[in-house]
Chain A
Amino acid sequence: MNKKLVVDSSILIVLSRRGALEEYLRWEKHEGYEVLIPRAVARELIDEPRRLAEKIARKSPALASKITQSVEAIDAAIEDDLIRVVTIDFRKYSRIVDNLRKYLSQLEAKPEHAIKKGDPELIVLIIQLYDRFKEKIFVSTEDKGLLRALKSFSGRVEYEVLHGE
């Protein structure tokens, strides 16, 4: 069975901007990892930058085209099944999602509804995968704040960070 690797958008964005996304994903696949992201992360990888490219297309066409290329590389990787988009079971994990939103809103002194969905969904995906497969889940991110939030679940989930701290 493949090892489960939850990858944060930051890694995928940087690699796609550098034109190295497919190579990275094929490498991970060869190393026996299945790369997974939650649906909220897929949206911020594709929908948000696409809107940004449309917004700046008239004033900065070269930059808009660069962003579009990066989005297309991610889109193609999802189409080719190099990245699998997973839906979170919100019914089962609603309490964890609520607690995470509370924790993150306290960090930034912002109302809970203003918390972006990507952070709680990434952490819940790790928990959901661990509950389902009962094996160590691998995580790839450079985001120390996100790892800090994940650390509070270290007693509940066995995970290993491949990048970052």
Chain B
Amino acid sequence: MSERTVSILKEVGNPNKARIIAHLTKHKGENAEDLGKHLGYPLPTVYKYLRELEVARVVRSEVKDKTRLYYPSDFKLEVSPKRLMEIFEEQSILNLYKNRFGDDGMRRLGEVAEKVNAGKMTYRQAASTLGITYYEFVSLLDETGAIQ
């Protein structure tokens, strides 16, 4: 559940995407073109946002008469310092990694992540350098917000 909360937070944290959700709540079943016109966003941006909102399951779509129509999904977000603490203290690959490799491991993770961001190393090479599986490395990037 924690990752769902984090992914909703990420989406609604973007004011443009939050506006799309708000607009769709009032105008359910609008297509991407109309959304772009009403909100003043370029069409490729609207498609990108809608796709990301669908992946985070805060927006859903259906095809009617060959046109994809968008609807807001029902979600409720409760954020408080305590809830955030609970989310991030839940069992995660990051905690597993920290327990296994300690501070030195965290430092190495930072160094490797920098190389990965610069394109100097592939994800697979990074995982092998850190002595973890590819799945663990991608999960670490996901949990630290380094991957969209």
Chain A interface size band reads 35 or more
Contacts of A116 in B (CB 8 A): 124-125, 127-128, 134
Question: A107 at interface (Cβ–Cβ under 8 A)?
Answer: yes
Tell me the smallest distance from the CB of B5 to a CB of chain A, in Å.
11
Rounded to whole angstroms, the CA-CA distance of A148 and B3 in the bound complex is 30
Tell me the smallest distance from the CB of B7 to a CB of chain A, in Å.
6
Proximity bits, A113-145, B CB within 8 Å = 1, else 0: 011101100000000000000000000001111
Question: B55 at interface (Cβ–Cβ under 8 A)?
Answer: yes
Return the contact of B7 from the options A18, A107, A148 (Cβ within 8 A): A18
Contacts of B135 in A (CB 8 A): 9, 13, 44-45, 48-49, 52, 67
A to B CB contacts below 8 Å, 8 in the list: A13-B135, A17-B139, A24-B55, A48-B135, A108-B121, A108-B129, A115-B125, A144-B119
* A144 and B133 form a contact (CB under 8 A): no
Return the contact of A144 from the options B51, B55, B118, B124 (Cβ within 8 A): B118
Most buried by B among A13, A30, A60, A165: A13
Question: B57 at interface (Cβ–Cβ under 8 A)?
Answer: yes
Question: B45 at interface (Cβ–Cβ under 8 A)?
Answer: no
Contacts of A145 in B (CB 8 A): 116, 119-123, 125
Which chain B residues numbered 101 to 148 have a C-beta less than 8 Å away from chain A?
116-125, 127-129, 133-136, 138-139, 141-142, 147-148
Interface of A is mostly: helix
* B55 and A23 form a contact (CB under 8 A): yes
Contacts of B9 in A (CB 8 A): none
B residues near A (Cβ < 8 Å) are 3-4, 7, 51, 54-57, 63, 90-93, 96, 116-125, 127-129, 133-136, 138-139, 141-142, 147-148
* A17 and B123 form a contact (CB under 8 A): no
Rounded to whole angstroms, the CA-CA distance of A148 and B57 in the bound complex is 32
A residues near B (Cβ < 8 Å) are 8-10, 13-15, 17-20, 23-24, 27, 30, 44-45, 48-49, 51-52, 56, 60, 62-63, 66-67, 104, 107-108, 110, 114-116, 118-119, 142-149, 165
Return the contact of B91 from the options A18, A60, A107, A143 (Cβ within 8 A): A60
Known: A24-B55, A107-B121. A13 touches B148 (CB 8 A): no
18 additional contacts (CB under 8 A) given A9-B134, A13-B135: A13-B139, A17-B139, A18-B55, A20-B56, A44-B133, A44-B135, A49-B133, A52-B133, A56-B96, A60-B91, A62-B90, A66-B91, A104-B122, A108-B125, A119-B125, A143-B116, A144-B117, A146-B122
Known: A56-B96, A116-B124. A19 touches B119 (CB 8 A): no
Tell me the smallest distance from the CB of A57 to a CB of chain B, in Å.
12
Rounded to whole angstroms, the CA-CA distance of A119 and B54 in the bound complex is 29
Return the contact of A118 from the options B54, B134, B147, B148 (Cβ within 8 A): B134
Rounded to whole angstroms, the CA-CA distance of A84 and B121 in the bound complex is 27
